[in-house]
Amino acid sequence: EFSGGQKQRIMIAMALALGAELIVADEPTTALDVTVQAEILGLLRDIRESHGTSIIVITHNMGVVADLADSVAVMHHGRIIERAGVKELFANPREEYTQKLLAAVPHLGRNSAWTALSTEQQQTIEAAEPVVVAKDLVIEYPGRMGKPAFRAVKGVDFQIRAGEVYGLVGESGSGKTTIGRAIAGLERTTGGSLSVLGHEMNGMREKSFKPLRRRIGFVFQDPATSFNPHLTIEQCIAEPLIVHEQQLSPTERGTRVRSLLEAVELPGAYAERYPHELSGGQRQRISLARALVLEPELLIADEPTSALDVSVQATVLDLFRELQARLGFAALFISHDLAVVDSLAHRIGVLFRGDLVEDGHGPDVLQRPSHEYTRKLIASLPVPDPIEQEKRRAAFQAQWGRGTLG
């Protein structure tokens, strides 16, 4: 009955219940959106200052380190390879691994996907036919025990063109995943219109949608729970082929699977392994391979890197970028990480409590935001620079205070 941020605060309260002098916070903000993350970090900071509590924060988010830590220890292969004050470590990392770790952190506005395109490439995307068109889209969840229906998406309009990556950002509960699932046919639309690859989703029956489903790939947020643990990697990737391309022989399916494993930079021998034998980054690459096995025209990626450390995240993002450029599929990329979205998406939509409050090219939305909520969202994002982050935190508190960002 609680949100992710509420559950995290309950855990902090439990840690304080016996007057703890030391709190070990293991990835306390992983998979939380930036608004809730800012609240959790503010709470930890208040506890440290008011109670004198020592805090060990274990995290892969370098922005969180810059925002909260006084000193930093960097671990690699089970050893602490570097330790220094937070400002010294970010300014002058000594070890090569630390340097690579910091270099892998995406920075908002530094590598915008839209500005990286040539003028000709931008014009090609702008002239392309849309593969997804939402007009006044409404999605509701039925109420229980006589309660009214909950409107998760409140009449949004957007388009995704062929060959375009559309980034959808917003805090938890804003409707991002609901829209992604509706495009994939996993949620029913309640009102308005949602056209996917030329087919109207409002009122569409599963029987008529099945031929369309093979043209859509889906990368789930947590690959560990989206794979059948009893199947090998080859069987997991080949499953869509068995459903949609029954004419292929087992040998032909095996050849296709190994070709995809090479495309996602994994050895063909991994086909015989099971999901639990792979790391998080490897499983996410397998998830990407499975989504691409039918050569879809549209790919939906729901928070595919939220639980990965920055170096693995960089590898997966580079792979996604390279495959999208080579194969030319359109993509909906759902994330709460604004810097990641900026580095991948040509166009960005900002959702707030079911409303699409902003829509435009990456630099326009993230560098020149017009809506107040977008400005708060950007201001709450911790940056991997302790000096700059201290200034950003002070500026945020001066303008919006320490409360919630909604």
Which tens digits make up the pLDDT trace of 221-256? 777 778 889 999 999 999 888 888 888 898 888 888
3-class state of residue 332 by DSSP? strand
CA distance 236 to 233: 5
Residue 142 structure tokens: 């039925």
CA distance 221 to 206: 24
What confidence score (pLDDT) does residue 142 get?
86
Which tens digits make up the pLDDT trace of 101-116? 898 888 887 889 999 9
pLDDT at 406 over 50: no
The identity of residue 305, as a single letter, is T
- In this structure, are residues 405 and 384 in contact, taking their beta carbons and an 8 Å threshold? no
Highest mean pLDDT among 1-15, 22-36, 53-67, 119-133: 119-133
List, in order, residues 6 or more apart from 297 with CB less than 8 Å away. Answer: 131, 162, 197, 215, 216, 329, 330
- Both 31 and 137 in one domain: the answer is no
405 is a domain residue: no
- Both 245 and 308 in one domain: the answer is yes
- Both 65 and 165 in one domain: the answer is no
- In this structure, are residues 93 and 99 in contact, taking their beta carbons and an 8 Å threshold? yes
Which tens digits make up the pLDDT trace of 368-382? 999 999 998 888 888
CA distance 254 to 269: 11
CA distance 120 to 126: 10
The answer to whether the Cα torsion of 310, 315, 321, 324 is positive or negative is: negative
User: 400 falls in which pLDDT band (50, 70, 90)?
Assistant: confident
Exposure string (b/e) for 95-131, b if CB count within 10 Å is 16 or more? eeebeebbebbbebeeebbbeeeeeeeeeebeeeebb
- In this structure, are residues 155 and 136 in contact, taking their beta carbons and an 8 Å threshold? yes
- Both 97 and 156 in one domain: the answer is no
- Both 166 and 190 in one domain: the answer is yes
- Both 69 and 145 in one domain: the answer is no
- Both 89 and 140 in one domain: the answer is no
Cβ atoms within 10 Å of 159's Cβ, excluding its own? 17
Residue 276 structure tokens: 């639990």
End-to-end CA distance of the chain: 20
What confidence score (pLDDT) does residue 405 get?
41
406 is a domain residue: no
What confidence score (pLDDT) does residue 73 get?
96
Taking alpha carbons only, the member of 323, 325, 306, 367 closest to residue 342 is: 367
- Both 202 and 343 in one domain: the answer is yes
3-class state of residue 323 by DSSP? helix
pTM: 0.86
Number of domains in the chain: 2
176 is a domain residue: yes
CA distance 351 to 229: 34
- Both 184 and 94 in one domain: the answer is no
What confidence score (pLDDT) does residue 404 get?
46
Q: Please state, in angstroms and as integers, the Cα–Cα distance from residue 287 to each residue in 236, 290, 326, following that order.
A: 9, 5, 18
- Both 370 and 395 in one domain: the answer is no
Report the range of poorest mean pLDDT among 86-95, 204-213, 344-353, 355-364.
Answer: 204-213
Instruction: State the DSSP string of 291-310.
Output: HHTT--SEEEEESTTTTS-H
User: 402 falls in which pLDDT band (50, 70, 90)?
Assistant: low
pLDDT at 5 over 80: no
19 is a domain residue: yes
Residues in the chain: 406
> How open is the CA angle 297-301-303, to the nearest 5 degrees?
170
114 is a domain residue: no
Taking alpha carbons only, the member of 6, 20, 103 closest to residue 55 is: 20
Please provide residue 305's backbone torsions phi and psi, each rounded to the nearest 5 degrees.
Answer: -125, 10
112 is a domain residue: no
Distance of CA 339 to the CA centre of its chain: 10
Return the CATH number at 369: 3.40.50.300
167 is a domain residue: yes
Q: Please state, in angstroms and as integers, the Cα–Cα distance from residue 44 to each residue in 10, 39, 234, 320, following that order.
A: 12, 9, 44, 35
User: What would the mean pLDDT of 399-405 be, rounded to a whole number?
Assistant: 60
User: What would the mean pLDDT of 320-334 be, rounded to a whole number?
Assistant: 91
User: What would the mean pLDDT of 305-320 be, rounded to a whole number?
Assistant: 80
Range of the domain at 202: 119-379
- Both 375 and 393 in one domain: the answer is no
The answer to whether the Cα torsion of 166, 170, 34, 369 is positive or negative is: positive
- Both 77 and 209 in one domain: the answer is no
